[in-house]
Every structure is written in structure tokens, then in C-alpha cells.
Amino acid sequence: RESARKQLLLALKEIEVRGEIRNPVEYLCQLLETEAFKTNNIDTSWLDGLIRDKSVKTEPERDQVVICAAVYETHKIVTKKLKDMEAALEKGQAGAVYDLISLNSFSLPITYKGFKYEFSVQRASPDQYVFTVNKQRIAVKVRMQPDGSLMAIFADGPVRTIRGLEEPLGLRLVIDGATCILPHEIDPSELRSDVTGKVVRYLQADGEGIVKGKPYVEVEAMKMIMQMPATESGNIVHRMSPGSIIKTGDLIANIKLADAGKVKVIEPFKGTLAVP
């Protein structure tokens, strides 16, 4: 059994599905590495508990996510500006060349897990960028691959493959096969869905109090009933009816915050980043 587990793990890690379709390959790899699976101490309730508690994590390290997000966003900004400049020049608008200054030097904020990273980006060559944050300089060479992904070659040696997809909840990044989401700056008074499915029922009546971390609604997703926890305390205002179909990013409810002063404020990052 152990030999079969290892071979299955290797086979799964070689699978790569590209496009907007979602697949559980990364999650399955993490399941195969759990101690319960290795000892064959598993059943359906074990799997239901892992999904409910979201105890299996597949995200890359924080610093790796932040730097790769900066690389992806920079490439997207530069590519768009170049296309806009070419279109303007084709129309005879020579003034577009003055945008070269903003193309070669600009600021780039990245927000992730409660911190804002203020990058200063310098375009050293057509495919090389220098990112500066808190006086730390990170040089990266970026190459566009035929499949649309980016190959990021860091000055210190590591090479990362990056793919990005804009979604309602934020930017979905796939870094060397591991997926993470950089959410948009969130309004704490909004409760949004992070799954696609159907609203089963609210656990509190419209206008009643809810508590941070406690469930406020039951939704059906992947043929399972899941409870979604409130992100802040206050009084709930329903925005959906039971039976409504929801997708990722949909607004399910609002919160009349009990104490707006307790909402966590995004802080500026003041440290250094570990180069991925």
C-alpha cells in the first residue's frame, strides 16, 4: 500500500491542467501526505471534517506569493502599456512616446494577509525588472512562455513558473503548480461566498446578531452541506433567499458592525522578503 501511495503521489504531481477549470490535484496530493492516510485510518467522516475545517492547506509561502504576484502584475502592466502605446503610434499620436517614463519606473502595491507591500519597480531591460521594497532589491528576469505562463528567473538562482487569473474574489495565482488567491481589499461589512453552490438556509433571522468565527449560513456545494463563518460580529442583513444559486464572490449578506473600530487595519510591510 505504501509503495502504491508513493507512486500515486508522483503521478498526481506530474498532472497539469491549464485553463479556468478547477481540479483537486493539489488537494489530493496533500491528502496523500497526511498521517491518517499513511496509516489507513480514514473514512468519509474524516474527509468531511478536513473539508469543513479547511485543515489541508496547499498555498505556497507568503513571501513567495507576494514576490510572484508582483512579477505577474508588473508583466501585465508593462504588456498593456506597450500595446496601448503601439496602438497610439499606429494612429499617428506621437505623444505616446512620453509614456516610456511611466513604463520603465512605477510603484506597485500588493496587499496580502493583512499587509501592504509597496514595491518600486524599475525596468532594467525589455525582460528584466528590479523590485525594491524597504531598500531590499530583488532582480527578476521574466519570459513569456508559449502557453501564456511566465517563467521568472531570480538573480539568486531559483526559477518559478507563474500563471494568473483574475476572479471576482481576487487574483488566483498558480506558482509551480501550487494555487493561492490574493483577495481584493475586503469590505468587513460584506459576507461573500467562496464556493459555487446554493444557499440552503440562514442560521440567524434577518437583523439578528452574529458572532465572528461562528456560522451564519448553510450552503450546498459539491453535494455537501457546508457552514460558512462570519468574518466580523454584528447584525446580519440577508442579501439572498434560501435556494438561491451562488458563485464565488457573490454577496450573501451584510453586517451592521458591532464595533467598526475593532476591524483589522491593513498595515504597511516593514521587513524583508525571503526570495523564493
Render 154-171 in DSSP notation, one character per residue: ETTS-EEEEEEEEETTEE
Query: Among 187, 184, 188, 199, which residue's Cα sits nearest to residue 247?
Result: 199
CA distance 98 to 59: 41
Residue 162 pLDDT:
93
Interhelix angle 2-13/25-32, rounded to 10 degrees, is 150
Has this prediction a pTM greater than 0.85? no
Q: Sign of torsion, CA 247 249 254 258?
A: positive
Residue pair 206/237 in contact (Cβ under 8 Å)? The answer is yes
DSSP structure string for 30-42: HHHTSHHHHTT--
Residue 19 pLDDT:
62
Residue 95 pLDDT:
62
C-alpha cell at 101: 517614463
Residue 195 pLDDT:
82
CA distance 127 to 154: 12
- Mean pLDDT per 10-residue run, the chain (276 residues)? 90 73 76 89 85 73 93 93 83 68 85 90 92 94 91 87 85 85 81 89 95 94 88 93 88 86 76 84
